[in-house]
Structure 1
Amino acid sequence: MQETSLPKSYDPTGVEQRWYQTWEEQGCFKPSGLSAANAYCIMIPPPNVTGSLHMGHAFQDTIMDALIRYNRMQGHNTLWQCGTDHAGIATQMVVERQLEAEGKSRHDLGRDAFIERVWEWKASSGNTITKQLRRMGASCDWSRERFTMDDGLSEAVKEVFVRLYEEDLIYRGKRLVNWDPVLHTAVSDLEVISEEEQGHMWHMRYPMVEGDGFLVVATTRPETMLGDSAVAVHPEDARYQHLIGKQVVLPLTGRTIPVIGDDYVDPEFGSGCVKITPAHDFNDYEVGKRHNLPQMSIFTVDACINEDAPARYRGMDRYEARKRIVEDLQEAGLLEKIVDHKLMVPRGDRTKAVIEPLLTDQWFVTTAPLAAEAIKVVEEGRIKFVPENWSKTYFEWMRNIQDWCISRQIWWGHRIPAWYGPDGQVFVCRTQEEASQKASQHYGKPVALTQDNDVLDTWFSSALWTFSTLGWPEKSQELASFHPTNVLVTGFDIIFFWVARMIMMGLKFTDEVPFHTVYVHGLVRDGEGHKMSKSKGNVLDPLDLIDGISLEDLVAKRTRDMMQPHLAKKIEKQTRKEFPDGIAAAGTDALRFTLASLATQGRDIKFDLGRMEGYRNFCNKLWNASRFVLMNAEGQDCGLERVDLPLSVTDQWIVSKFQRTARDVTQDIENYRFSDAANTLYQFLWGSYCDWYLEMVKTTLYDENAAEAAKAAVRHTMVGVLEASLRLLHPLMPFITEELWQKLAPLAGKPAGSIMLAPWPEADEGRILDQIESEIDWVQRFTSTIRGIRSEMDIPPSKKIQVLVRGDDSAVARLRRHVSTVTALAKLEGWAVLQDEAPQGCATGVLEDMQLYIPMKGLIDVAAESARLQKSLDKLDADWQQVTRKLSNENFIAKANPEVVAKERDKANELMEKKRAVQEALTRIQAMA
C-alpha cells in the first residue's frame, strides 16, 4: 500500500462549505436548458422570510433535494424553484417589535413609511433561512429565487384577484371570522391553535315571557349572552316541543328572543337548551342563517363590549364583563349553577390571545365551483397523493369547503386592488389609473378614490406559487417548460390551506394541474415521540446537529427560547440528563441520511440522536474504505486498458450485489420509499462492500505470488463498485460523495466534473448472479459462525485456530473452493474433515449443511474463563433482581409514567436474554474442565 492524498480523517465542515460554494459558483444547480421534453421541477414550499431552519424544514428539504439530485443525474432538465413567503402577520410583528423598542408604533410612521421599514428589514435580515438551506446542501437554483412580494408575483396576484372578481368568484361581505384582538385582524384556521384548558360551565335561567317558568342554558362564555338572538331546542325533544315559537327574556338586557327548533341541538347534552349567538360562534352563525336570526355583535376589535350592549357593560374587557355579568345574574337569581369544565380554547399562534369569532366586512373567494374541478383531477388520478390515504382527507375537506376569507387587516402584504368612490361604490382594477377611469365613467366626472386598506391573506399569493414563479401571466418559456411541476413535498397540516388552493388556482388560471404527485410527510418528533416545541424545551436545531453544541449553550438556548419561563429549571434538568456531553458535530450528510432513513411514507418520525451518531460513523467508514481503495489503486493498474479481466467469484459477487442495490434503490426513490433506499445503501456499503468484500480481496492484493491480471481485476472491481456506489448515495449524502468521487472517478475512467452531473447508475440485470451470491453468502455464514464462537469463548482475535468440519461432499467441496478466503477471514490455522466423533472439549457451531468443531485445548484458560463468566452472570442477576423488584412494586406501576414502566420492562427482558447467553457460555466452558 502507498500513501494517498485523502486525509486520514473526515472533516465535514471544511468539505461541505468548500463544495457548496463550488457548486453554486459553477452553476451546477441550474437547469440544463429550457427544454420541456425531459423537464423535472419541484417547487419549494416557500418558508417565511422571518423564519429560521427547523427540523421540519430539514426533513422535507432533504427529501426534495434527494429527488432533485436523483433526477438531475437521470439526465432530466431539472429545476428546484426556490423562494420565500412575505409572511404578512409574522413579518409585521417582527418590525412592530423593533418599533416598540424605539418607543414608536406603525401608526407613528404611517403606512408608506412603515412598509419601507419592512423592506429595509427584509434586505438586512430576511435571508437567514436561505443561508441555512444552503448548509443543508439544498441544490436550488438560487439565481431564480423569488419572493411573494416581488414585482412579478405581485402583478400575478392582482391579475388573479381582478379576474376572479370579474367572474363573481370574489365578493365582499359581512361574515364571521377568526379575529385576533391583539393584531386587530382576521386570521386563518391554520393560525389558530386550540388546546384543552380548565374552565367553567355557567348554567343560566332565561325566564319565559308567558308564565312563571324558565329555560336553563349552559355556556362557557357568559359574556356573549348579551348578543343572543334565540334559544334553540331539538325539534323532537318532547320536553320542549310545546315551547318552540314562544319567547324568553334575555337576562340583563330587557330584550326578548324566540325559542326555535333545530337539529343542531343535542338533546342529551346539558339541559337540551342552547343559547344562539350568531355574531360570536361559528355553529350559531349557521343556525342563525337557517332561521333568519339577527346578528348582533357586542364586541369591539379589542374584544371589549361595544355600544350595542347595555350601558353598564360598555367599554369593559370581555373577561371583566364576564365577571360582572355572572355577579349580576347571581344577584337577580338567574344563575342556576357553575361547574368545572374542560374546553378547547382557540388562541392566536403568534399573540397567544384568545381568538374571538367576530362579524366583520371581509373579502371572500367563492370556492365551491373551484373545488369541484380540484376534486375531479384527484378522482381521475391526474394528481396522486403519496401515501394514497391522504386523498380521503383531501376529499372530505373539499366536499365540505366553505368560502375563503382572503382579507387581512394589516399593512404588510398585497394590498387589495379595490378603490371606493364617495358613495362607497367599489372599483376593482389592476391599477389606480384604471380605477379612476372607471370611476369617471360611472360618476360622469373625476372623483377622489380611496383604496381598500386591507391586504390579502398570505395563502392567496402562495396558492399561485407554481405558476407565478415561472412568469405567469406572461407566456414564458419557463412556464411552458416546467409547468405542471412534478411533485409537491409537504406536511399534512397544510393540505387544506396550501395544497388544495394551489390545485384550485392552478386549474383555474393555467388549465393544468400544478403538480402530478403530492408526497405527504409526517412530523419530526423528539426521541420520545413528543411534538417538538419551545414550550416543552425539546426543540432540536438542525444546525446544532450539524455543527455540534456544548451542553451549556444548549441549556441556555432552550431556556431562552421557551415560552414559559417558570419551567426553565425543569427544562434545564431534562436537557442535562438527555445530553450530558452536549451534541457532537455530525455534519450535514449524517443528518440528511438519518432523516432519509426515518422517512417512512406519511408517518411521524421519532428523531434518534443515536442513529445520527451511527450515520456519522458511516461517513467515517466510507472515508476509511475509500482511503484503503486509493492506497491500493492510485498509480496502479486498475484494468482500464484490459479487455478481458479475470473476475474472481468474490469480484462477481460484489458486482452482483451492487447491481441488485442499484435496481432496488432506483425503485425505492421512484416510489418515494426513502427509508428503504437509505437502508439498502447502508447495508450494501457498510456490510457487503466494507466489511466483507474489502476484507476478502486483501488475500489477492497482498499476495506477492498473485497474478497481476488478478490484482488488476480486484482494483478494477473495488474502484468501479465504490465509484458507482457513491453516485447512488449522492442524493442523500451530497458532500462526502463529491469529495470521494473526485479522487476515485479518474481511476474508474470517468470524465472530470461534479458527481451531481454524473449519470445515475443503471442496474444491469444480467450481472445479478443468484448462484454466485448464494456461494458467497455461505462463506459469510461460515465465517460468522467461527467469529461467533471466538466471541462467545473469548478467544483472542489474533490467535489462529483449527476447525474440524462434518458435512456432505458438496458442503466440503464448497469449503475447498473458498478455503483461502475463509482461512483469512476466520483466522484459521488449518481445517480437516471429521470422520469420527468430535474430540472432547470442542466448541461447536452449525450451518445448514455442515457442523463445525473447534478444539479449545490451549486456546483459553478454562478456570479463568469460567470465573469471569460466573462473575458476569452474578452481576447480571443482581441487576435483573433490582429491576424485577421495582416492577413488582404496585406503587411504582401506579404512579410512574407509562413510558418509564415500559422502559423498565424492556430492561428486564434485555437482562434476562443476557443472563441466558452467559449461562449457555458458562455451561460450555465448564464441560471442558
Structure 2
Amino acid sequence: MTANIFELSTKYDPKLTEAKWQKAWEIHQIFKANTIEKEKIFCMVIPPPNVTGSLHMGHAFEDCLMDVLVRYHRMNGKNTLCLPGTDHASIAVHSILDKQLKKEEKTRYDIGRENFLERAWEWKKSSGGKIVSQLKQVGLSADWSRERFTLDKGLSKAVKTAFIKLYEAGLIYRGNYLINWCPASLSAVSDLEVENKEVKGNLWYFRYPLKDSSGYLDVATTRPETILGDTGVAVHPDDERYQNLIGKTLILPIVGREILIVADESVDSKFGTGSVKITPAHDPNDFAIGSRHNLPFINILNKDGSLNENAGEFQGQDRYEARKNIVTRLEKDGFLVKVEDHYHSVPYSDRGKVPIEPLLSTQWFVKIKPLSEKALKFLDEDNSPRFIPDRWTKVYRDWLVNLKDWCISRQLWWGHQIPAWYVISQTNGTITDGTPFIVAYDKEEALRKAHKDYGSDVILEQDPDVLDTWFSSGLWPFSTLGWPENTEDFATYYPTSTLVTGFDIIFFWVARMTMMAGYFTNKMPFKDVYIHGLVRDENGKKMSKSSNNGIDPLILIDKYGTDALRYTLIKEVAGAGQDVTLQYNRETNESESVEASRNFANKLWNAARFVIINLQEDIRNDIGTLNPEYLDLADYWILSRFQKVTEQTINDINNYGLGEAAKGLYDFVWSGFCDSYIELVKSRLLENSDSSLGAQQTLAYVLDGILKLLHPFMPHITEEIWQTLTQRNKEFIALQAYPKPDLNYVNKDLENLFDLLFDVIKTIRNLRAELDIKPKTKTFVILQSESNTTQDTLRIGQKYIQDLGKTSNITIVSKVEAKTEQVFTGVIRNIQVLIPLSGVVDIVLLRQKLEKNLNKIENEANILTQRLDNSKFILKAPKEVVQGARDALEEAKQQTFILRERLQHLHE
C-alpha cells in the first residue's frame, strides 16, 4: 500500500507539539465562551493562585483535574466557561516589597502608602504574569479573555458593595476584641491563617502571695511574660483545695497589683496546680473568663512583639527576651517553684512564620452566624453544595456550626482599603475607638453623608486598614461574573457547576464562598465541590517549603512533556479525594511514573503513525463509516471493546472517577488496541481486498474515538494526531463531540472468545521465550481440549492464533496421542498447549543452559539463606538491608521452581 503524504514524524517531540497547540488554541480563541446559548451550561472558576506564586505540584495537580472536567463537558456540547484569575495575596506581596525596601534601608512607612502601592502595582505588572503563563503551559483550557484579578476595577466594586450591604444590615461592626496578631507582618490574622505546631517548651510554676499574708497560691504557665498582664486567678468552683480562697485577693509578683481569685467552671482542676492565672488581654480563654467576671484588661505588648509601657522595667524588650528576664527575676525574688519540660501546641502565623500573639485590638468584624445559618439551610434542605467525596460534608457542616465572628481587617496597604471614613475633626485629629465613622462607596459619598450629619466643616480620613484577602476571595464565584451588576455572564453562568479544590482549603475558602453567595445571591455558588487530596513526595510525605521536598512540575514537563505529567497525576489518583504519591529521583530529576506516561504517549504516537500510513485517502476522508460487509471477527471484537471503554469512561468522569477513567483508557489503548488489534490486522492490511478495507475503516474509527476519549487527559498529543489523521485544518479536536457508546456493537460472547484466544497466544509466546525460539522461526503447535465448545472457539480463532503465535500449523485435538517425540507443554484454562521440539530446538544445549542458570541461582539462594540464618546479621543490619535479602531469596526460590519445571518438561 502506498504511504499517505500526510504522516506523523517518526519520533514524538512533546516540546514542539505542546507549544504549537497552546499557541494555536489561544490565537483562535477556541476556549472563549459565549452567552448566546442558555441551556446545557458548564462553568468553573479556577481557584485563583497568588499573583506572587510560581507553579508548584499542587497547582499542576489541581489544574489537571479541572481541565479534564472542562474539556470533557465542552466536548459534550455544553456552553462551557473556565474562568481564570489571580489573587492579590496581601501578605505575600508585602513580604516581597518589605524585603526590597530593607535592602534600601527603608520601610514602607518611610516611602508612604501612595509610593508603596505604586511599587506594588509595578511589581504585579512585571512579575504577576508568571503564574498565568505557567497555567497555560499546563494546558488549562480557560477563557483568557475573561481573566480576572482580585484588585481589578470590577472586583473592587463588588468588594465595596458587599462590605456596605453587610454593614447596613448590621452584620459588620467595629470593636475592641482579642484577635490573632502576627508580629512579623504587623497585622491581624484569622484563625484560619494560624498553624498549630507541637513544640517542646517549659511549664513554669510560680507562687502568688495572698494579700492577707496567709500563704500562697501556685499557678503554672507556658508564657511567663504574660504575668505582667495578669488581673486575676481562676479556680474551679468545686475544687475543694481552693474553696476558702475564692473571693480573696493576691499580690501579683514584680508588679505588686492586687488581683482577685474567682471561681469558673472552665478551669481544669487536673492540669498544673488547678489554679489558672488570668491575662484577659492576651489569651482567648482568659478573655472569656475576664469578661464573665469583669476583670480588668491590661495590654502589655507592642505590635512588633516587644513589651510596652505596662511592662514597667521590661518595657522595650522582645517578648522572648523578656520571658527569660522575668523568670530570672521571679526566681531571684523567691516566687519560682519549679520548671518542667512540657510539649504543647503553639499557634504560628501561616504567612509570618512566627508565633502569633493574642492581642486586644480594635478591628472590623463580620457577624458570621446569620451567614453560616443560611449556608447550613441550603445544605440541610437541598444537600447544596454536594461534596465529593461525601465524607467532607460533615466536616463542612461542623465548621459552619462552630464558626466565630470573622475579623476582616488587616493592618496592610496592598489590598481592598476598608470603605470607611473617620470624622477626625470631631476628635482633634486623633482616631480612637469612639471616633465617628461613615461607611460609603467613595470619599465623595462619605463627604455628602458627613455634611448631612456633622456640617460642612469636616475633615475625613479613610481607615488605613485593608480587608482580609479571603473577603474578596469569598465573592470570587459571582464577582468574577459581573456581580453586583446583572451581567450576561452572571445571568448565563451563575451558579457555577463545579469547584475543584483541596481539602485543606474547605475552611479558608469554600465556607467563605458559600456564606457570601448564600447571603448576596440566595444561591449556592456551585453545584458540586470536588475535593482532591495532596501530591506527596516519593516517600509519601506532604510537600512543603520547610521540608524542602517539593517537586518542580516545570522540570518534569521539560523532561517528559506536559501530557505525560498530566496523565500521571490523574492516573495515580486511586479515588476522589485520595492523595497521589509521585515517584521522583532528586539526583537525576527523573520520575518512573511520569516516564511511564511518556512511554504511553510514544506508544499512542507510533500506533497512530502506523494507522495513518496504512489508510487509503478515501478512508481517512470518511472516518466513522463502517461497512459491515467488510468487517472481520476481530473488527467486531475491538468495536465491542471500544464501546464498553467509552461507556465506562463517561460513567467514571461523570462520577468524578478521573483516575479510574485514565487507567481504563490506558489499558484499552495499550493492550487492546496497540498490542492486540493492530497485530491482528497487520496481515490483512497487506491484502488488496474488502477485508483490508474493513481493517482500515475499523482502525480509523477506533483511533479517532481513542483520541477524543483521551483528549481531556492528554490534549496536545491528541490534537496533533487528530489533525494529521483527519486533515481538518480549520477544526480542533478540542471542539469535537465526545464519543457516545453504540451498544449495538457490544458483544460479550465475542469478547470472551477473544479473551480465550489471547490467553492461548500468550501461552504460546511464553513457551517460545522459554525455549529461546527466534521470532522468525515458525513452530508447529498442538492445542488439546476435551471440550467441544472450546475446540470450536479455537477453530474460529485459529488464524489469529497462527498469526500472533508465529506458528506454521495448528492442530486442534480432544486427546494427545502417545508421545513419539519430545514436546514442551503449557496449560491455560482447559487447554493444553504443546510445541514439538524436533527440528526447532537443540534440546541438549538448551538443557545445559537451563542447568547452568539453575546452579547459579541455587548458589545465590544458599548464600542468602545462610545470611538470613545468621542472628547477628538480623540484629545489626539495617532493616531495609534485611528485607532486601528476604525479597531476593523469595525471588530466587521462584526462579528455581520455574527452571526445574522447564527442565522437567525437557526430560519428559
Q: What interval of TM-score do these two structures reach, taking the shorter chain for normalisation?
A: over 0.9
Equivalent residue, structure 1, for 2:542:
531
Q: Secondary structure at the match of 2:630?
A: coil
Q: Is the 8 A contact 1:232 1:261 kept in 2?
A: yes
Matches of 2:882 and 2:3 in 1, distance apart? 50
Equivalent residue, structure 2, for 1:110:
112
The aligned runs of 1:854-873 (5 Å cut-off) are 854-857=835-838, 858-860=840-842, 861-873=845-857
How far does residue 269 in structure 1 lie from its aligned partner after superposition?
A: 2.2
How far does residue 646 in structure 1 lie from its aligned partner after superposition?
A: 2.5
Q: Secondary structure at the match of 1:388?
A: coil
Q: Is the 8 A contact 2:267 2:275 kept in 1?
A: yes
Equivalent residue, structure 1, for 2:652:
668
Equivalent residue, structure 2, for 1:25:
27
Name the amino acid aligned to 1:601: A
Q: Is the 8 A contact 2:387 2:531 kept in 1?
A: yes
Matches of 1:176 and 1:35 in 2, distance apart? 51
Equivalent residue, structure 2, for 1:813:
792
Matches of 1:914 and 1:856 in 2, distance apart? 28
How far does residue 395 in structure 1 lie from its aligned partner after superposition?
A: 1.0
TM-superposition CA deviations, 1:150-195 (whole Å, max 9, x none):
0111011001001100111000111122211122111233433332
Q: Which of the residues 555, 558, 562 maps onto 1:588?
A: 562
Matches of 2:404 and 2:474 in 1, distance apart? 16
How far does residue 278 in structure 1 lie from its aligned partner after superposition?
A: 1.8
Q: Which of the residues 701, 704, 709 maps onto 1:723?
A: 704
How far does residue 143 in structure 1 lie from its aligned partner after superposition?
A: 0.5
Matches of 1:452 and 1:769 in 2, distance apart? 73
The aligned runs of 1:461-476 (5 Å cut-off) are 461-476=472-487
Residue 906 and residue 489 in structure 1: after superposition, are their counterparts in 2 closer, same or farther (change >3 A)? farther
Q: Secondary structure at the match of 1:30?
A: coil
Equivalent residue, structure 1, for 2:53:
51
Q: Which of the residues 434, 438, 463 maps onto 2:449?
A: 438
Equivalent residue, structure 1, for 2:237:
235
Residue 907 and residue 86 in structure 1: after superposition, are their counterparts in 2 closer, same or farther (change >3 A)? farther
Equivalent residue, structure 1, for 2:318:
317
Equivalent residue, structure 1, for 2:582:
607
Matches of 2:187 and 2:119 in 1, distance apart? 21
Structure 1 position 762 matched with structure 2 position 747: no
Matches of 1:794 and 1:344 in 2, distance apart? 66
TM-superposition CA deviations, 1:672-702 (whole Å, max 9, x none):
1111000000000001000100001112113
Matches of 2:279 and 2:821 in 1, distance apart? 91
Matches of 1:853 and 1:888 in 2, distance apart? 50
Equivalent residue, structure 2, for 1:799:
777
Equivalent residue, structure 2, for 1:553:
none
TM-superposition CA deviations, 1:425-449 (whole Å, max 9, x none):
1100111111111111111333011
Name the amino acid aligned to 1:829: S
Q: Which of the residues 96, 99, 116 maps onto 2:101?
A: 99
Structure 1 position 367 matched with structure 2 position 351: no
Equivalent residue, structure 2, for 1:822:
801
The aligned runs of 1:629-640 (5 Å cut-off) are 629-635=611-617, 637=619
Structure 1 position 452 matched with structure 2 position 427: no
Please, what TM-score do these two structures have when normalized by structure 1? 0.91
Equivalent residue, structure 1, for 2:129:
127
Matches of 2:862 and 2:195 in 1, distance apart? 49
How far does residue 863 in structure 1 lie from its aligned partner after superposition?
A: 3.1
Matches of 2:652 and 2:25 in 1, distance apart? 27
How far does residue 822 in structure 1 lie from its aligned partner after superposition?
A: 0.5
Q: Secondary structure at the match of 1:645?
A: helix
Matches of 2:334 and 2:152 in 1, distance apart? 62
TM-superposition CA deviations, 1:75-108 (whole Å, max 9, x none):
1110001110011111122122222223332222
Matches of 1:167 and 1:838 in 2, distance apart? 97
Name the amino acid aligned to 1:867: E
Q: Is the 8 A contact 2:626 2:694 kept in 1?
A: no
Matches of 1:374 and 1:875 in 2, distance apart? 70
How far does residue 387 in structure 1 lie from its aligned partner after superposition?
A: 0.4
Structure 1 position 842 matched with structure 2 position 823: yes
Equivalent residue, structure 1, for 2:530:
519
Q: Secondary structure at the match of 1:593?
A: helix
How many residues align? The count is: 879
Matches of 2:863 and 2:716 in 1, distance apart? 45
How far does residue 840 in structure 1 lie from its aligned partner after superposition?
A: 6.6
How far does residue 884 in structure 1 lie from its aligned partner after superposition?
A: 3.6
Q: Secondary structure at the match of 1:536?
A: coil
The aligned runs of 1:154-193 (5 Å cut-off) are 154-193=156-195
Matches of 2:751 and 2:102 in 1, distance apart? 71
TM-superposition CA deviations, 1:263-305 (whole Å, max 9, x none):
3222222222222222112222223233333222110111111
Structure 1 position 709 matched with structure 2 position 690: yes
Residue 826 and residue 868 in structure 1: after superposition, are their counterparts in 2 closer, same or farther (change >3 A)? farther
Name the amino acid aligned to 2:441: R
The aligned runs of 1:324-363 (5 Å cut-off) are 324-363=325-364
Equivalent residue, structure 1, for 2:894:
916
Pick which of 638-647 and 345-354 moved more. Answer: 638-647
Equivalent residue, structure 2, for 1:566:
none
Q: Secondary structure at the match of 2:30?
A: coil
Q: Secondary structure at the match of 1:89?
A: helix
Name the amino acid aligned to 1:615: S
Q: Percent identity?
A: 46
Matches of 1:279 and 1:879 in 2, distance apart? 71
Equivalent residue, structure 1, for 2:683:
699
Q: Secondary structure at the match of 1:633?
A: coil
Equivalent residue, structure 1, for 2:757:
779
Residue 660 and residue 927 in structure 1: after superposition, are their counterparts in 2 closer, same or farther (change >3 A)? closer
Name the amino acid aligned to 1:205: R
Matches of 1:320 and 1:103 in 2, distance apart? 25
Equivalent residue, structure 2, for 1:598:
572
TM-superposition CA deviations, 1:291-338 (whole Å, max 9, x none):
3332221101111111122x2111111111111111111112111111
TM-superposition CA deviations, 1:179-224 (whole Å, max 9, x none):
1112211123343333222221111112233453322222111111
How far does residue 635 in structure 1 lie from its aligned partner after superposition?
A: 3.4
How far does residue 505 in structure 1 lie from its aligned partner after superposition?
A: 0.7
Q: Secondary structure at the match of 1:342?
A: strand
Name the amino acid aligned to 2:488: Q
Q: Secondary structure at the match of 1:257?
A: strand
How far does residue 871 in structure 1 lie from its aligned partner after superposition?
A: 4.6
Equivalent residue, structure 2, for 1:489:
500
Equivalent residue, structure 2, for 1:378:
379
Q: Is the 8 A contact 1:201 1:220 kept in 2?
A: yes
How far does residue 904 in structure 1 lie from its aligned partner after superposition?
A: 5.2
Matches of 1:250 and 1:836 in 2, distance apart? 106
Equivalent residue, structure 2, for 1:656:
640
Q: Is the 8 A contact 2:861 2:892 kept in 1?
A: no
How far does residue 907 in structure 1 lie from its aligned partner after superposition?
A: 6.3
Pick which of 884-893 and 716-725 moved more. Answer: 884-893
Q: Is the 8 A contact 1:801 1:830 kept in 2?
A: yes
Matches of 2:95 and 2:777 in 1, distance apart? 71
TM-superposition CA deviations, 1:625-676 (whole Å, max 9, x none):
0011011114365676875433111100101101001100001111111110
Q: Secondary structure at the match of 1:240?
A: helix
Equivalent residue, structure 1, for 2:430:
none
Matches of 2:218 and 2:866 in 1, distance apart? 59
Name the amino acid aligned to 1:605: V
Equivalent residue, structure 2, for 1:623:
605
Q: Is the 8 A contact 1:887 1:904 kept in 2?
A: no
Matches of 1:771 and 1:405 in 2, distance apart? 66
Matches of 2:867 and 2:483 in 1, distance apart? 67
TM-superposition CA deviations, 1:447-495 (whole Å, max 9, x none):
0111101000000000000111111111101000000000000111111
Q: Secondary structure at the match of 2:205?
A: strand
Q: Is the 8 A contact 1:887 1:905 kept in 2?
A: no
Matches of 1:910 and 1:801 in 2, distance apart? 35
Residue 385 and residue 886 in structure 1: after superposition, are their counterparts in 2 closer, same or farther (change >3 A)? farther
Matches of 1:32 and 1:643 in 2, distance apart? 39
For structure 1, the 5+ residue unaligned runs are 548-584
Q: Secondary structure at the match of 1:718?
A: helix
